[in-house]
Copies of this chain bind each other. A is one copy, B any other.
Amino acid sequence: MDVPEVPEKVDPDLLTAVLDGRWAELRRGVRAQMAEVEFRDPVALDVEAHRAQVLDQLRELAKTDRPGLGFDPAYGGGGDVGGSVTSFEMLGYGDLSLMVKAGVQWGLFGGAVQLLGTARHHERYLRAIMGLDLLGCFAMTEHGHGSDVQHLRTTATFADGGFVVHTPDAMATKEYIGNAARDGRMAVVFAQLVTGGESRGVHAFMVPIRDESGAPLPGVSIEDCGPKAGLNGVDNGRLRFDNVRIPREALLNRFGDVAEDGTYSSPIESDSRRFFTMLGTLIRGRVSVAGSAGSATKRALALAIRYGEVRRQFAKPDGDEVVILDYLAHQRKLLPTLAKTYALHFAQEELVSKLHDIDASAPEEAQRELESHAAGLKALATWHATSAIQAAREACGGAGYLSENLLPALKADTDVFTTFEGDNTVLLQLVAKGLLTSYKHDFEDLSPLATARFFAEQVVSTVLERTSARKAVEALTVGSDAEVFFRREWQLRLFEDREEHVVEGVAKRLRKAASDPFGVFNAAQDHVLRAGRVHVERLVLTAFAAAISRCADPGARALLERVCDLYALSAIEDDLAWFLGHGRLTAARAKAVTAAVNSLCTQLRPHARTLVDAFAIPEQFLAAPMLTS
From A88-96, A190-198, A210-218, A443-451, the one touching the partner chain is: A443-451
* B-side contacts of A594, CB under 8 Å: 526
Most buried by B among A312, A313, A418: A313
- Chain B residue numbers with a CB within 8 Å of A411 are 229, 415
A328 at the interface (CB under 8 A from B): yes
Contact A147 to B228, CB < 8 A, known contacts A170-B629, A326-B522, A419-B401:
no
Bound complex: CA of A444 vs CA of B433, how far in Å?
53
- Give the shortest distance, in Å, between A145 (CB) and chain B (any CB): 7
Given A227-B44, A229-B403, A401-B419, A587-B580 contact (CB < 8 Å)? yes
State which residues 386-400 of A face B: CB under 8 Å.
Answer: 386, 390, 393-394, 397-398, 400
Closest Cβ of chain B to A506, distance in Å, is 13
Q: Chain A interface residue count: which class?
A: 35 or more
A400 contact set on B, CB distance < 8 A: 419
As a 0/1 sequence over residues 600 to 629 of chain A, the CB contacts with chain B under 8 angstroms (1 = contact) are 000000000000000000000000000001
User: Hey, which chain B residues are within 8 Å of A598, CB to CB?
Assistant: 523, 526
Which A351-403 residues sit within 8 Å CB-CB of chain B? 386, 390, 393-394, 397-398, 400-403
| Complex: A580 Cα to B145 Cα, angstroms | 43
Interface residue? A181 (CB, 8 A): no
In the assembled complex, which residues on chain B have CB atoms less than 8 Å from the CB atom of A44?
A: 227
Residue in chain B with minimal CB distance to A410: B229
The answer to whether residues A313 and B146 also contact, given A397-B419, A580-B580 and a CB cut-off of 8 A, is yes
Given known A-B contacts A314-B446, A314-B447, A576 and B581 have beta carbons under 8 A apart: yes
- Give the complex CA separation of A536 and B590 in angstroms: 25
Counted per complex, copies of this chain come to 2
Q: Provide the A420-431 mask, 1 if CB < 8 A to any CB of B, else 0.
A: 100111000000
Q: Which residues of the partner chain B approach A402 to less than 8 Å between Cβ atoms?
A: 225-229
How many angstroms between the C-alpha atoms of A322 and B315 in the bound complex? 58
Contacts of A522 in B (CB 8 A): 326-328
CA distance A452 to B318 in the complex (A): 13
| Contact flag A397-B448 (CB < 8 Å), given A523-B328, A581-B576, A581-B591 | no
Which residues does A use to contact B, with CB under 8 Å?
43-44, 46, 141, 143-148, 151, 170, 175-176, 225-230, 312-317, 321-322, 326-329, 332, 386, 390, 393-394, 397-398, 400-404, 407-408, 411-412, 415-416, 418-420, 423-425, 446-449, 452-453, 517-518, 522-523, 525-526, 529, 573, 576-577, 580-583, 587, 590-591, 594, 598, 629
List 10 interface pairs A-B (beta carbons < 8 Å), by A numbering: A144-B312, A176-B398, A227-B408, A228-B401, A228-B408, A316-B449, A328-B523, A393-B415, A580-B587, A581-B590
